[in-house]
Amino acid sequence: MADEEVDQDAMADEWAAMADEEVGAGADGADDLAAEWAAMAEDGEDPGAGAAARVLNQDEIDSLLGFQEGGDGDEERSGIEAIIDSGMVSYERLPMLEIVYDRLVRMMSTSLRNFTSDNVEVSLDNITSIRFGDYLNSIPLPAMLTVFKAEEWDNFGLITIDSSLIYSIVDVLLGGRRGTAAMRIEGRPYTTIERNLVERMIQVVLADLSAAFDPLSSVTMRFDRLETNPRFATIARPANAAILARLRIDMEDRGGRLELLLPYATLEPVRELLLQMFMGEKFGRDSIWENHLATELWFTDVDIEVVLDEFSRSLGEVLNWEKGTFLPLTATNESPVSLRCGNIPMFSGSMGRKGGNIAVKIEERIDVD
């Protein structure tokens, strides 16, 4: 019995030693594996895939996403942001519209100088295409939005005046001293005086805009309403495209921005005229071919029918006609006849005979209204 107990104790000690060795070996193996993974990560290797992969830095990530630190909204977009913005349809350029806006800038410079009795400089920053909904969401508030109607085109446009220009106009018209920038008061609605003064300036701008389009197409821009909430100035669907022109108005040390938005639907009646590269351009017309076609039309053969007489009957009577039915005609030898080309009456005359042939003498021409 004593020998058996000694053997069991020895066996237990041996098992415990083996267990300790396995635990130690497992821990050492785990440490070795972790150290190996860390070394692979430092070398730029993916321990899961075993393939080489390089970690992108922040500049490369920004370039991939299309974000640029301190970038302006007018800059060209790239990367994923450009892919997202590609949903914006690329609309056709309207070369003549740029000429109209250049004419508008020159006219506004003169008109606003007379209006404010101050030295006013108007400049055109850029002309871009934008979705109407995106533009409304990008308007910096507070601002005044003017809705106007193009009478002959039966559609609307939008003029946005930022707060800097509003306070500058009010300051100039009410005799503010030069050399002091217009003070901007936040957190209050525009007063009736401010709205009336801005409306007077808008009337001047709309008159110049109408005159700028005159050489192209006569149109009257009529003031409709003045809004301060962009939601109340909705003149098109959010997804509709529009042309946005940004104007800068400077009055010495004062000034601001004026933005003119014209939906493509508004410009549709004069779209062909705006596609011209220069005033009076012909759209693919070939005068030589037109003259040749007009000359050849005079030598074209057409069939002329002579109608001796005609009368009207109801459909029921016509269906009752049988073989041998007599159709009385009231025409006589002296009755006038008509000559027709298709269903169009051309001439009227009288019947006769010449050289054994039946002839018609044309007496007058029938004018079809």
* Nearest alpha carbon to residue 219 among 210, 228, 206, 209: 210
pLDDT confidence of residue 210: 93
Give residue 158's pLDDT.
94
Q: How far apart are CA 305 and CA 243, in angstroms?
A: 57
Residue of 242, 244, 224, 222 lying closest to 233 (CA atoms): 224
> Is the separation of the CB atoms in 157 and 148 below 8 Å?
yes
Note the pTM of the prediction, 2 decimals. Answer: 0.54
The confidence score (pLDDT) of residue 259 equals 93
What is the Cα–Cα distance from 135 to 128, expressed in whole angstroms? 11
Establish whether the linkage from the previous residue to 140 is cis, with ω within 30° of 0.
no
Q: What is the model's pLDDT at position 366?
A: 83
Q: Which helix (H) or strand (E) holds 56?
A: none
3-class secondary-structure state, position 46: coil
Give the residues across from 20 on adjacent strands. none
Q: Residues 260, 162: contact at Cβ < 8 Å?
A: no
Helix then strand then coil, % of the chain, to nearest 5: 40, 25, 35
CA distances from 365 to 203, 214, 296, 300, 332 (A): 55, 42, 23, 20, 21
One digit per residue, the tens of pLDDT, for the chain of length 369 reads 545 555 666 666 676 666 555 545 555 555 666 666 666 655 554 444 444 567 777 777 777 666 555 444 445 555 565 555 544 444 557 888 888 999 999 999 999 999 988 888 999 988 888 888 889 888 888 889 999 999 989 999 999 998 888 888 888 888 776 655 555 556 678 888 889 999 999 999 999 999 999 888 889 999 999 988 888 888 888 888 899 999 999 987 788 899 999 999 898 888 888 887 766 555 555 567 778 888 888 888 888 888 888 888 889 888 888 888 888 887 777 788 888 888 888 888 888 888 888 888 888 888 876
Q: Is the CB of residue 249 less than 8 Å from the CB of residue 255?
A: yes
Domains in the chain, start-ordered, CATH in brackets? Answer: 95-274 (3.40.1550.10), 301-365 (2.30.330.10)
Tell which phi-psi region holds residue 301, choosing left (phi > 0), alpha (psi between -120 and 50) or beta. Answer: beta
- Residue 150, classed as helix, strand or coil, is strand
Contacts of residue 261, Cβ cutoff 8 Å, sequence gap at least 6: 132, 135, 157, 158, 159, 160, 242, 243, 244, 245
Handedness of CA 281, 287, 288, 290 (dihedral sign): positive
What pLDDT does residue 156 have? 93
**To the nearest 10°, the Cα dihedral for 102, 98, 280, 150?**
-90
Residue 306, CA atoms < 13 Å, CB-side half-sphere: 13
